[in-house]
Structure 1
Amino acid sequence: MVKTYSNCTIVLENLEITYMEDHRDLSFLRSIKEVGGYVLIALNTVSRIPLENLRIIRGHSLYDGSFALSVFSNYNNSTNKGTDQILLTSLTEILKGGVNFFNNQLCNVETIQWSDIVNVGNISIDPTPSKNKNCGKCDSSCFNGSCWAPGPQNCQTLTKLNCAQQCSRRCKGPSPSDCCNEHCAAGCTGPRAEDCLACRDFQDNGVCKDSNLYQLVPNPHGKYSFGATFVKSCPLCNGLGTGELAHVLSINATNIGSFENCTIINGNIDIIITSIYLDQFTKTPKMDPEQLNVFKTVKEITGYLWIQTWPDTMSSLSPFENLEVVQGRTKRGSRSLVVSGLHITHLGLRSLREISDGDVFVSKNSELCYTDAKHWQKLFKSPHQTVNIEGNANAATCALRNDTCDRKCTVDGCWSPGPSMCISCRDYKHDGSCVDSCNILEGEPRETAMNKTCIKCHPECQPMNGTATCSAPGSANCTKCANFKDGLFCVSRARSVH
């Protein structure tokens, strides 16, 4: 968690804080200002969870289908240890989803006016007061006695309930001149779109905007969306042989940080002995194996991928588990992918679907199973590409270790053990993993199957028993609406007619 969230300000998906023991220091969480999905805080005994800079939870995905903030079971009855304080002193808006607190011994949560924070969603707060005798009262300066902890700095900041009638959404105070711009979320420091604490839709160079401003027409100023931010280009980074790495021999401890948040690497990746271990000649320090996880965001390499040394502590190439394409625009000789001389037991390249050009060489990895040449050939774009598989673990050794594909995989094989490593699924795929069936007639959330993939029904579809809830994604494909029908579409509320 420290490596994942240190200096992180925006969590694009979900933030889950679980099983943190009472001796843990969670101060690294203070940098987080925004969460795109839900926040789950559960089964912890650490006394204090410092999220005091978290301003907004967007709720793009919800815990248990309903909650953007779920806090439960943060107390151990047998040891009488638990979380006393969850400091959310900056949290002023949850765009979608409710909150629920139960089976905790938290201080001050019952004083918070959650209706000021929650836009759409249920509010479920366990009424049982804390048994913690050390809980202090809210400071007398706190409006309506609402606070996250004792002291004037921990008063709840209201940005909705205390606004003037003229304000359409949020405000920074009770005066009509304190209204925030309509594109603001979580509050503001002034009336302009650039004064927002967070943006309701998208942020573009510090200005909050409505996504509807961007139309599907040729636009020289068009941008891409990255979370809730518009960017001029996708996160593309220079690899070896390009830009600042044009004359660099290999990936090492001094340059691996430049690949943080990269999705496309323009160039090559070379990992050799001087990448992992100390290089006395160039004075390059030894690499921490955990640093290799920076490649988990990479989906495409335009050049080649060459791995000739790997940490003994890693049994697979899991840092490249999201890599989809190796283009091979540049190659070493004729090769665009080489894995040689490693002690790994499986490759784990579960997302790889294309080797656009160049040959594959997987050799002299004495412990390596799951190396069938046939599935490599299916990744090639040209009949002239070749694969060389030799000197790896033999079939008898792999069978003895029970290193075989999961029963949910097809005869195409797999990259590693487990249902998430199949090259193709025997039945259905759900969230990247092979499953026996989708939640079509039962289970939550209800789903439909398209191209052997489980896809969630729209939230406005009424869950059905004995028949399919939806025929396809989208609110126009529900069997029955959960609330109202507006033309072809299921909606949460009926339109008023004037």
Structure 2
Amino acid sequence: MELLPGNPLAINERVKETITICHSIDIRNNPEHLEKLRECEVIEGHLSIVLIERDNPSAFDNITFPKLREVTDYVLIYRIKAVRNLGSLFPNLSVIRGLQLFKDFALVVFDNERLESLGLRSLSRIERGAVRIQNNDHLCYVNTIDWSRINVEGSENNVIRSNYDTRLCGLCPNAQSRMEDHRQLRLQCPADFTGRLLCWDDKHCQKRDCPTKCGNHACMESGECCHSACVGGCDGPLASDCHVCANFSFRYGKERTCMERCPANTYELSRRCVTEQECRATPPPQGDASPNIRAYKILGKRCVYVCPTGFMETGNESNSTCEPCPRSGCLRECPGGKVDSIASAEYFRGCTHVKGTLEITLRAGGGNMMSILEATLGSIREIDGSLRVFRSYPLVSLMFLKSLTRIGGYKSDNKGQSLYIFNNPNLEMLWNWSAKKSIEITTGRLFIHFNPKLCYNQIQPLKNMTKDPKSTFSEIEVSQDNNGDQASCFQDTLHLQVSSLHQRVAILQWNMYCLPDSRNLLGYSIYYIATENNVTLYGQRDACSDTWNVLDKTADEVRNGTKESDEKLTKDSLLPDSCSNLQPLFYPLSQLTPFTRYAAYVKTYTTLQDRKGAQSAIIYFKTLPGPPSPPLGLTVESLTEHSATIKWQPPSMPNGTIALYHIEIQANNYNRPKILALNVNYCGNPTALVNLIAVRGEEGGAAGAGGATGAGSAAGAGGAAGAGGATGAGGTGDAPSDTCTCRDDTPLTRFGSGAEEERIESINFENALQNHVRFLVEICVNYINI
């Protein structure tokens, strides 16, 4: 039987009645096509529901797919006119993995006219990629979701705009309920740190955080912890009770269980363990544009479709394998194209020769984009056409093109410009010329302009790399005025060292920087980062998700106490001479982690009138050991009347080498008169006392009363925030009523420099969305005609 994309995949005949693994599914035009989802529990690929515009809401009555819990790529909802709540379709969708993204997004809900709420109350984890929810005219409750609890990589790149006015939306469930005895009613939804209530719609709260005893693991509605192999919830404490597996799913049906590693004679395919036969029978990913790739194949313990860098595909469709490349390297050709997102960069993974022009234009960063670009574009050795890098905000360097040795410039449609680097606001470096061999630019000219942080001396090594014609570095090719005009391009050296070292503080010391006119020195920037390995200034670093901590300090803030009155006047000026009394500068780095290795460097900032500056080399230091954090997961199991077993996990922050654990045991006399007065067998039912105290708000003796008062104050503060969030401004619980604290309305997009740019970006995204929908139609037509 021929397997069409989207059909449930029967993996094991003996249990096929319960196996519901589907490939990528594209649903459009008619809601009856939704029946493709009827038996799907997992979609290995993407889910696209688009262009269902002519049906009334009754067409979706009683249509629901409670079995679907996981999508491994992305979910796209576009122009579905009649659906009011996505939760009615997918009440149990828990995890979107984002292995492949749509334009850097794992969840896209765009231009759905009658959609009123997302309602995806089970969604608790988006492992990779951002969220885009836009142009849904009636959509509420998008701002009552704490996406930072869902987006594993962070919610900074989420785009949520042009939906219904949140001030006119309804309340979260039980939002108007009040506090009782300083305790929040359990019926009320959880709140974030601002007091904003969190919910998916007027009937469903966002899931509460799991108890601290669960660590980072999932939990059940009752608060009981799931097995460590689970994500997205579970039905019991075993690995076989998981709704979704954190790592790999092994076997199928009632025999299915979650595992950290695949057992012997099975191989890792995305999220599950498969046999070799199942691996080779897996159809290619839908929409794959790699005609030279034959089929899925075995590589070590993995089942892969594309051989990784350093390997090449050999054999035929039924027996293809990945073999190591020869010393001269593999040859894998691919057509030219544009890299404008993480998803589009994936098309070049493993490519060594680009048969055309490579364009790189990246607007958004985050998620460690430089390491992703290095993994996808790092194998490219030759580009037959031109290399164009323009309007790429995140790029700090081009070092991710680490293997590039030749730019042909042939058949270039860029006015003979084979290397075009234009308007990259944060680009500071092309390549590390001291470590990289030269790049041969066979034909064509250079065009490098309007890169404000790219110094001319970083471009100069290219002058000797052009062949035909030989570059003259004229002002038309490379400008000295509009490149590096916002950078200190003539660097002197600062000598940085650690003056004093403590558990959480390190005092840095460096030499004062001397300028002829001290007024041109704005200050110093101190960069530091925790790292186990040595780092470089530009390696795997982008402007939007820079992991370095930065402290910007004026010259006065780091001045060592020398008064300006002590400085001598210059002979030719009435200004004080800052170079007459050079003494070391000091600044403390605080709130460091004990027993941790750090890297640090210092650079100056000067006015544009003085293009000179100074920077230190990177130094390394390790803070002193400190007290560890408390052990985790403490449990006590009573063995006999006089003995018990105590178990615990190591602390999350050991802050040093743990040599021993100190155990203290003390009899609990809390509320002893009340305990003795009641006729309850607390030995047989030890939780009864805890429940009694929790319900009645009991207070014990003097010591107990103090503890209860403190706890009550904390609960009261949190409770007041929650109550205010329910009744405060806007109707969705955005601000506590008894405080002046309002929720920060900072946009979720990184690049919101103006309405024009935002509109252009939205147009480009919708154009890409329409092209994608049209592309899927062509795939289906070609598939049917085969």
TM-score, structure 2 as length reference: 0.32
Q: TM-score, with normalisation over the residues of structure 1?
A: 0.47
Compare CA radii of gyration and give the structure with the larger one: 2
Q: Which has the bigger relative contact order, CA under 8 A and spacing at least 6?
A: 2
